[in-house]
């Protein structure tokens, strides 16, 4: 069946059409027929569509909302505008998988979307005010276009972390805040951590129960996950994606008392503080230049920019601290897995993170490390290291498509 995978942001829509089914999953033979992104929805939108064997299609078109954007994308295939053989079959969608950021405490597994699921996703808006409303727009747009005859499935970023014990998910705040307002850690990027753990298992032949690894997702958003016995034991993002590692524009961990301090000192109000933590901190905040790791590394190299170098060093040190912490709570792990735009592509960042960790049994093979970039998958461990190191490009869309197939076919989810 053709599964349309949708990932909606506030003004963007990413989509993939993936041919999958239970037998294709079994043979690891499902394939992406087309993928695309529509940005700047609400004004002159930019559309980019890719399909194997076809030239990349780029268009600019005024698209007023997510429904118009999705209609436009489907229309491209229906009209044969995308010059690939299977264009018309791509437009033939049999199921839709929606990436949903926050499922709260109740939505902990991928699920067919009915009106009660929509209500529960709405209930989680207060926990993810930037993300869930956009995800709901995607559901509304797809239902308006395809109706209920095509099944819609929700796959949650938080779901993989539902196995975290209370010792990981509770903050040391008054317990009543958890009871009254669900103030706790949820974790995000769950589909990515789950996918790379699945690939690790395939690469090493380990069973789910034998999967004891630390997965490090470094992209614009960054998070790290301690996976013990195949399940999330702890992860660095918290009630919101701000907690944990240093990210492109998010601060990660900090002393919470800085916020009232800034309120008193600079008169900053709640929204400003929130904007600072989410949009003006992290690599951008420290460097004062950019949130883009590639550009920071270049500034550091070409111009010896001190703050660019500092941003990169702080970024790497935070990852190192978490690796150490997770190896401690797990009583050691068999492997580290790097993924995400930075984790997959930057051999330099991997080298700086793994430097001088011999004490923990972590060392990289320089040659393998520098050769494993650009969506290549492989092991980059140095000889004799106790914790193996892998680079595994993430593929959240594939897991969303597979969960969609399993929900529609009523088959148990194995990963
Ligand atoms: P998102 O979280 O938005 O999906 P990505 O996973 O695509 O983001 O990661 C984007 C980050 O990856 C950017 O900081 C970008 O600079 C970084 N990146 C991509 N390629 C490289 C590279 N070759 N070297 C260093 N950083 C890179």
pTM summary value = 0.95
Structure tokens of 116?
A: 């009660």
Per-residue pLDDT at 394 exceeds 70: yes
Give the pLDDT score at 149.
Answer: 86
Does the pLDDT of residue 151 top 90, yes or no?
yes
177 Cβ neighbours under 8 A, 6+ residues apart: 171, 183
Residue 414 pLDDT more than 80?
no
**How far does the centroid of ligand 1 lie from the alpha carbon of residue 396, in Å?**
16
pLDDT exceeds 90 at position 235: yes
Mean pLDDT on 194-219: 97
Ligand 1 center to residue 220 CA distance, Å? 6
Residue with tokens 């060093």: 313
Best mutation site among 7, 37, 219 for ligand 1 pocket (most ligand atoms within 8 Å of CB): 219
- pLDDT tens for 158-194 read 999 999 999 999 999 999 999 999 999 999 999 999 9
Mean pLDDT of 338-347: 97
Strand 231-235 versus strand 335-339 pairing type: unpaired
Given the residues 30, 157, 234, 403, select the one marked as catalytic: 157
The percent of residues in the chain predicted with pLDDT above 90, rounded, is 90
- Answer whether 282's CB lies under 8 Å from 293's CB: no
Structure token pair of residue 367:
């040659």
Identify the band that residue 54 occupies on the pLDDT scale cut at 50, 70 and 90. confident
Q: What are phi and psi of 412, to 5 degrees?
A: -65, 145
List phi, psi (to 5°) of 357: -120, 25
Nearest atom, ligand 1, residue 394 CA: 6
The residue-averaged pLDDT of 339-364 equals 97
Pocket of ligand 1 (CB under 6 A): 219-221, 248, 292-294, 297, 340-342, 345-346
- Across the beta sheet with 231-235, the strand order is 231-235, 222-228, 213-218, 335-339, 388-391, 378-379
- Can 157 be counted among the known catalytic residues? yes
C-alpha distances in Å from residue 26, one per residue of 20, 81, 405, 413: 10, 33, 12, 12
Q: 2-156, what's its fold?
A: Nucleotidyltransferase; domain 5 (3.30.420)
Mean of the per-residue pLDDT values of the chain: 95
Do 106 and 50 form a contact (C-beta atoms < 8 A)?
Answer: no
- Best residue for ligand 1 mutational test, from 37, 295, 341 (most atoms within 8 Å of Cβ): 341
Rounded mean pLDDT, 337-345: 97
Closest ligand 1 atom number to CA of residue 217: 6
Question: 32-46, 79-93, 108-122, 189-203 — which is least confidently predicted?
Answer: 79-93
Asked whether the beta carbons of 340 and 218 are under 8 A apart, the reply is: yes
Taking the C-alpha atoms of residue 196 and residue 375, their distance in angstroms, rounded to an integer, is 13
Please, which residues have CB within 8 angstroms of residue 400's CB and are 6 or more apart in sequence?
3, 5, 97, 98, 99, 153, 155, 191
Rounded CA separation 341/275 (Å)? 24
User: What is the reported pLDDT for 227?
Assistant: 98
Q: Where in the chain is the domain with CATH 3.30.420.40?
A: 2-156, 205-391
Atom of ligand 1 nearest to the CA of 373: 23
Q: State how far the Cα of 162 lies from the Cα of 400, in Å rounded to an integer.
A: 17
Distance in angstroms (rounded) separating the CA atoms of residues 278 and 250: 4
pLDDT tens for 66-109 read 999 999 998 888 877 776 666 667 778 999 999 999 999 999 99
Return the half-sphere exposure (C-beta side, CA atoms, 13 A cut-off) of residue 28.
5
Distance 157 CA to ligand 1 centre (A): 19
Distance 219 CA to ligand 1 centre (A): 5
The mean pLDDT of 35-44, rounded to a whole number, is: 95
Superfamily of domain 205-391: ATPase, nucleotide binding domain (3.30.420.40)
> Given this model, what pLDDT does residue 82 score?
73
For residue 164, how far is its CA from the centre of ligand 1 (angstroms)? 28
Tell me what percent of the residues of the chain surpass a pLDDT of 70.
98
Atom 24 of ligand 1: nearest residue by CA position? 346
pLDDT of residue 88: 65
DSSP-derived pairing of the beta strands 111-112 and 57-62? unpaired
Could you identify the atom of ligand 1 that is nearest to the CA of residue 222?
2
């Amino acid at each position: 069946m053709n599964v349309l995978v949708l990932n909606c942001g506030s003004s963007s829509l990413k989509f993939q059409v993936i041919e999958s089914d239970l037998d294709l999953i079994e043979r690891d033979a499902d394939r992406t027929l087309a993928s695309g992104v529509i940005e700047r929805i609400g004004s002159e939108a930019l559309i980019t569509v890719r399909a194997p064997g076809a030239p990349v299609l780029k268009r600019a078109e005024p698209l007023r909302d997510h429904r118009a954007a999705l209609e436009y994308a489907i229309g491209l295939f229906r009209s044969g505008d995308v010059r690939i053989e299977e264009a018309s079959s791509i437009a033939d969608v049999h199921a839709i998988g929606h990436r949903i950021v926050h499922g709260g405490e109740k939505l902990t597994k991928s699920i067919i979307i009915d009106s009660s699921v929509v209500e529960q996703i709405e209930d989680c808006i207060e926990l993810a005010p930037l993300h869930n409303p956009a995800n709901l727009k995607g559901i509304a747009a797809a239902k308006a276009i395809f109706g209920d005859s095509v099944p819609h499935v929700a796959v949650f970023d938080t779901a993989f972390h539902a196995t975290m014990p209370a010792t990981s998910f509770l903050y040391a705040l008054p317990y009543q805040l958890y009871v009254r307002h669900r103030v706790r850690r949820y974790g995000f990027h769950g589909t990515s951590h789950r996918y790379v753990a699945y690939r690790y298992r395939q690469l090493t032949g380990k069973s789910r129960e034998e999967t004891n690894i630390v997965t490090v997702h470094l992209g614009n958003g960054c998070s790290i996950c301690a996976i013990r016995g195949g399940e999330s034991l702890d992860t660095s993002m918290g009630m919101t994606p701000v907690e944990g590692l240093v990210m492109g524009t998010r601060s990660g961990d900090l002393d919470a008392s800085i916020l009232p301090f800034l309120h008193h000192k600079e008169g900053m109000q709640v929204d400003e503080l929130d904007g600072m933590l989410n949009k003006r901190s992290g690599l951008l905040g420290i460097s004062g230049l950019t949130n883009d790791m590639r550009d920071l590394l270049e500034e550091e190299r070409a111009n010896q920019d001190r703050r660019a170098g500092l941003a990169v060093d702080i970024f790497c040190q935070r990852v190192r601290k978490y690796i150490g912490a997770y190896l401690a709570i797990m009583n050691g792990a068999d492997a580290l897995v790097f993924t995400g735009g930075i984790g997959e592509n930057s051999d330099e960042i991997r080298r700086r993170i793994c430097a001088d960790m011999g004490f923990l049994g972590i060392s990289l093979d320089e040659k393998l490390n520098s050769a494993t970039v650009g969506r290549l998958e492989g092991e980059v461990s140095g000889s004799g290291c106790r914790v193996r190191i892998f680079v595994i490009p993430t593929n959240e869309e594939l897991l969303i498509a597979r969960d969609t197939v399993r929900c529609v076919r009523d088959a148990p989810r194995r990963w």
